[in-house]
Amino acid sequence: MDQTILLAVDGSDQSTQAANYALALAEKEGARLHAIHVVDTNSTPEPTRSTAELATIQVEERGQEQLRQIEAACLDRDITVETVSCHGTLTEELARYAEEIDADQIVLGYRNRRIPSNSRLMDSLTAEVVRP
């Protein structure tokens, strides 16, 4: 049975580390890799429309570049990959796409330095993605 790994990326160093882990895991297990970049509409600044649009464009470009790098790395390693970019609420889009592709595993990096990885907030973010 083929395994399906969902990798969430945001262009950060942490998501690059998560991508490296997901690539190694997919290669080891012979799994299919789905990489998703979500432009989180809940975190886009709104001081002015033009500033918000510029911030969104920058986030999209960073994510698209990372998705291209993942596609190239998968091609080099003979890993089946599909990439997706979308707009929405991060946790909702990850949960929706994970269900759509019947993901066996979800790999993501987290970059908010103000929230320790062992905090209750981090636990609640994880729970929002994986809850049934």
d(CA 82, CA 99): 15
pLDDT tens-place string over residues 21-54: 999 999 999 999 999 999 887 765 555 556 767 7
**What confidence category does residue 123 fall into, taking pLDDT thresholds of 50, 70 and 90?**
low
18 to 24, 92, 98: CA distances (angstroms):
10, 20, 16
Provide the mean pLDDT of the chain. 82
d(CA 10, CA 4): 20
d(CA 120, CA 42): 20
Question: What domains lie within the chain, and their CATH numbers?
Answer: 4-130 (3.40.50.620)
**What confidence category does residue 90 fall into, taking pLDDT thresholds of 50, 70 and 90?**
confident
Cα angle value 6/60/13 (rounded, 5°)? 60
